[in-house]
Amino acid sequence: MSASQDITEAGPEFCEVYAAIHAESFEGSERWSASAFRSFLEMPRTLSLIASQDNEPTGFILARLAGDEAEILTLAVSRTFRRRGVAMALLRALRNRLENLNTTQLFLEVSARNEPAKALYLAADFEKIGTRPRYYADGSDADIMIWMT
């Protein structure tokens, strides 16, 4: 990843940017609209980080906090910046912030078919703890993964 990569907290003002990056990463009904992002970003206990390089947004991660736990709602990287360490940098930055908030567990669901994403999460020290059958609109399963401090 380039040394000029910057990761900062972001709010509802980035909902259009998030929707555009998300549309590059997900298909059909899995894509979130700008209004959906705005709704999440305006909720209390939501943590959003955006990565950028030379002031160009490269990716983002969105999580919700509940007590000493958190859940990754979505993570997406612009097609142009994939395979450059952006997703891993976002995961690490999120975990650092969560540790400072005394969060002990971070959960996520990932498509059982999404081998690149599952490999990323395993490399980031997540463990698979279960499966949600037919979780997605197309009937595919989701793997449940956890990272613990």
Domain that holds residue 40: 5-148
Distance CA 108, CA 121 (A): 9
22-78 confidence digits (pLDDT tens): 999 988 878 999 999 999 999 999 999 999 999 999 999 999 999 999 999 999 999
Domain containing residue 139: CATH number? 3.40.630.30
Site of tokens 């959003």: 48
The count of domains in the chain is: 1
Tokens of 5: 């990569």
Residue 4 reports pLDDT greater than 70: no
94-130 confidence digits (pLDDT tens): 999 999 999 999 999 999 999 999 999 999 999 999 9
Range 26-31 contact pairs with CB under 8 angstroms and sequence separation of 24 or more: 26/76, 28/137, 29/137, 30/136, 30/137
Distance CA 74, CA 50 (A): 12
